[in-house]
Structure formats: structure tokens, C-alpha cells
Structure 1
């Protein structure tokens, strides 16, 4: 039987919760995630144990966690994942002092001083999301992800009465590695990439874990068929928490630069401009994405 627990997760500095919640709401997968009011809720499976959680603003400097999980010994791992996913360790004053030396970024930083980089609850889930998002809209990718969860995810065995919209947990690598995913309505090449990612994680469970070295992380991902530069940087940014990951060819970043400076740069030109933003290019990217809506 699940045990309900309430905890406070502390963080330093400002926190732009509306921006974080807006990001999550736009990408919420049916059956797996719900955004309602000022709260984000999701179902999950951790070490074979299912649970649900919700996060909302708490007292100043804290997020309020409500957790339903029968296995109390997993609590520290849940908290660790949430601290990474919601970027609770970020030293924003340090990051902003560095980025604000660029006159293009300075007003964006001043307008959103608490903006953080959204992360991921689970590396495999994020990698699958990233592949589904290749060359299609966010809405299109979420429709595919929702079909994938409904078809291949496991039903939530103990539904949360407070969150009846949470019905499944995400599919496992074991299931997706052998599934014919083209039936979900995507090109066969992309379906094959999903299966490749699933099998790669079975072969190397540490593949998507934070490694502390951006180039090494990118090289490992780029070895996988169907994983290009954009997908590798996106996974490094959101899952591996690489603060310098930067998908320079991303259309949203290029469009944001066009709106801010009146001319759309090439990916090469943006990459050159972003050299001055190292080692915090991921935060510059998040501000550009947010500014472009």
C-alpha cells in the first residue's frame, strides 16, 4: 500500500515556477503527467516500484512535494531525481554574472531572473521524447509519446485518487527494444532509432547518466544510428544536466536570435556567438527559447 509523504525541497535564489510549469504543461504526456493550477503531477516507476508525485510552490525558497510510494527506502532517490529535474542546485547569480556580459542576453536575464533549465525525471524517457521530437512540432511529438505510453506503458496499479489522469507509467527499454513502433504513426527510420536507443540502454545502463564531460557524453550518443547533433545536445542538456550543451541548429534558437537582433544567423554564426557564453550555454539557450515564446 502506498504511503503519502509531504516534503519540502529547498533551493537558493529566485525560481521562475510559472516558466517551469509552462514548459511542462506544453509537453505533458497523457496518462503520465498532469499540470493543473500551480501543480505538476506524474506517475513513475523506480526500481520496479510504482508511485505518483506532485510538486507545487511551497514556503519561500522551497517546492512542496507530495509523494505516494510504498517503498520508503526509495525516497532519497526520488528527491535526487527531482532536484536534478527541476534544477534546484543551480547557482543562478554566478551564471547570470557571466552571461550578462553579452548585451543581447542581459535584458533577458533581468526579465526572468529565476529561469532555470528544465531537466528530466528519467534518462530513457527523455531520450525517447527527444527522438520523437526530431523534425516535428512539440505538439506532434507529445501526441506520439501519448500513443506510445498508452500502447506500451504499464498501467498504474494503485491509482492516485487526487490525480485520476495518471493511468500509466512509461514504457521500459525491454518492451520498446523489441516492439514495432512504426505502427504509432511515425517514419520507420525514427521507429528504428527508438528501438536502437532502447537496446543501447539495455547494453549499457549507464549510457544516459550524467558524466561531467560534455564532449564524452556527446560522442557516446552520436555513435547511435539516428542520433544527430541536435538530439545529442538536447539529451545532454535536459538529462545529463550538461550546463554547456547547446543545440546550435535548433530552429527555436535561430528564430529567437532573429527576433532579438533583426537577422537570422546560421547555426555556425550562432555557435561562434555562443563561445562567449561558455560554460553556461544551456542557460543562454533556455532564455532564448523562453523569450521567443
Structure 2
């Protein structure tokens, strides 16, 4: 890990253990990018960032010759690159040992083709647990595309415009918990109960009741707190655990795409209870099985389905 300074930006190199499927990771991010806040363009991931009162533009690309990601932060936020590093490691799942995942899943023969097809697949993370849970609440019972559209509207209603430096595709900062809790979301495109659940969650984070973005999250407590909130169910919590809290064994069992994918491969497992029982054999790597199944559908359909 090396750090180099320039007049308007700092760069950081983050190592990973190959194989690392950068193309599929960017495909996942691209299909779910928060409009105006993050984007994928020409094999580079971009997003606006804010650390305390310092703002900036983050860009991440893979080095074509070495097993490193090159992170660049422009603007005043570059002075806090060390504080961003844990988030970056989670965002790109850089601590994973691909061989450990493979060895842990080879006991199930029908996973072999998935692992062979995408040996460097990772679980894409999240820059912000708050941002991800907001998106996940919005995404309940709607398509990935619809959720992306609605989150983009939330950003324009409650977010703040980015100042220089910025990228043409990322002119906004994501709303703060307080701003999202207070903004009028009438006619945003969500049912009233979902709006209430979203703003209830945002208020709890704003009040410090839910410590959603700790670098060392208390996953058990977060699971309990979110499940206790009306309008937030197991699918939302498990999806957040997969991506924001880096729980390698998180399993969004009620995800329709996952259920269909499993039933298609094993027709005897059409019932959720039977799928849950079989999935026990995938512990402690169930989050990676979910990603491989979603990835298979995306490969076949050419769409950002699942997650």
C-alpha cells in the first residue's frame, strides 16, 4: 500500500489476492449506481465523498499489470484518505481469499460450474451502510431499475450539489440522515408505508440510535435494531449484512431471483424451507453463493437482475 501526493489529489494503491473479477464488480455497481452520486465510466468507478466538512471526488481503477486497485481522491477530502481506506476495502471486498471461498463451497457439486465460470467474483460492498439500507428499503418489491430511479429522485430532493472537483455523472452528494428524515417525499414513487419506514430509519440514524457506519459494525445489534423497525424485514437486513457489514454468511433467503435460480437447478427445492435447509451446507460462505447465482442470471440475461 503506497501513497503519492499531487497538487490536487492523492492516490492510494490497494492490493488484492487474485483472481479478482473487476469487470463483473463494475457491472454490478453500474446497474445499481445512485444517480448523481456514483457512476461507472470506462472501467472506472466514481463517486462523490464527504469526510466531516471536506468533500471530494473518488475514482477507482484496476491496474492492468499488477494486482492492485488505484484509488484517487480529488479535493479537500484527499487529506482524509487514511480514514477512507477501511471503507474502500469493504467496498471492493479486498480481504477475500478466493481459494478459501472455493474450498468452502466445493462440497456442493452443482456450485462447481458457477465457481469455474467466475472464479474471481467478489461481493460488491457499499461506501455507506446508511446509503445502502436506504436503497434496499426503496428496492423492496420493485425492480433494480425502478429502485435506482427512485433513489435518484431522493438525491435530488434531499442531497446537496457537489462543488469542484466533480465528475459530470456525479454532481450530487447523498442526503444526510437528518435531511432525508425531514424532506417531503410526497409523490416520490413509493407507497406511504415504505416512505414512513425509510424516514423512520433515517431519523434513527440521525439521532444516533443506529450506528450504521461504524468501521467495526456490531452486526448482531444492527440486525436486531433494523428488524425491530416496521417496514424492514429479513431480506433488507440480510442484503445490508452482505454488502455493508461484510457478513460472508448473510443469506437473503426470500430473494425471488435466488429462489427461482435454486429451484431451476434443483427442482426438488421449490419451497423456501427446503432451500434454507440445503443452504446450511454453504455456510459460512452463503453471501458468495448469492452473488454467483445473481451473476449467472446477469450473464444469461444481460441484465442487472438480483440484489
TM-score by length of 1: 0.93
Instruction: Answer yes or no: is 1:242 the counterpart of 2:247.
Output: yes
Query: Partner of 1:191 in structure 2?
Result: 195
| Alignment: residue pair count | 290
The offset of 1:29, in angstroms, is 2.2
- Distance (Å, rounded) in 2 between the aligned partners of 1:193 and 1:270: 29
Query: Partner of 2:39 in structure 1?
Result: 34
Instruction: Answer yes or no: is 1:165 the counterpart of 2:161.
Output: no
State which of 16, 23, 35 in structure 2 corresponds to 1:18.
23
* Pairwise CA RMSD: 1.8
The offset of 1:94, in angstroms, is 0.9
Instruction: Answer yes or no: is 1:101 the counterpart of 2:107.
Output: yes
The offset of 1:265, in angstroms, is 1.9
Instruction: Answer yes or no: is 1:65 the counterpart of 2:77.
Output: no
TM-score by length of 2: 0.89
CA contact (8 A) 1:125 1:170 kept: yes
Structure 2 unaligned residues grouped into runs of 5+: 1-6, 299-307
The offset of 1:199, in angstroms, is 1.0
Report Cα offsets for 1:52-82 as digits up to 9, x if no partner: 1111111321112121131444111212211
Report Cα offsets for 1:9-35 as digits up to 9, x if no partner: 111121001110100111122211221
The offset of 1:212, in angstroms, is 6.4
Instruction: Answer yes or no: is 1:141 the counterpart of 2:147.
Output: yes
The offset of 1:180, in angstroms, is 2.4
Q: Any idea what SS the aligned residue of 1:130 has?
A: helix
Q: Any idea what SS the aligned residue of 1:29 has?
A: coil
Report Cα offsets for 1:216-265 as digits up to 9, x if no partner: 43222101111101111111111111111101110110121133234662
Report Cα offsets for 1:253-284 as digits up to 9, x if no partner: 01211332346622222111110111111111
- Distance (Å, rounded) in 1 between the aligned partners of 2:59 and 2:23: 15
Instruction: Answer yes or no: is 1:123 the counterpart of 2:151.
Output: no
